[in-house]
Amino acid sequence: MATLQSYLMVTAILFGLGLFVVTTRRNAVGVLMGVELILNAASINFVAFAHFRGNDVAGNMFSIFIIVLAAAEAAVALALVISLFRQFGTIDVEEATTLKG
Q: Interface with other proteins by CB under 8 A: which residues? A: 4, 8, 11, 15, 18-19, 22-24, 26, 28, 31-32, 34-35, 38-39, 41-43, 45-46, 48-49, 53, 56, 58-59, 61-62, 65-66, 69, 72-73, 76-77, 80-81, 83-84, 86-88, 93-94, 96-101
In terms of CB distance, is 1 or 76 closer to other proteins? 76
The rounded radius of gyration (Å) of the Cα atoms in the chain is 17
Q: Closest Cα partner for 46 from 15, 90, 81?
A: 15
**Helix, strand or coil, per DSSP, at residue 96:** coil
Residue 5 C-beta: closest distance to other proteins, Å: 11
Rounded to whole angstroms, how far apart are CA atoms 50 and 61? 9
Residue 101 C-beta: closest distance to other proteins, Å: 5
Residue 96 C-beta: closest distance to other proteins, Å: 4
* 39 within 8 A of 81, measured Cβ to Cβ: no
Q: Closest Cα partner for 52 from 99, 101, 5, 100?
A: 5
In terms of CB distance, is 1 or 87 closer to other proteins? 87
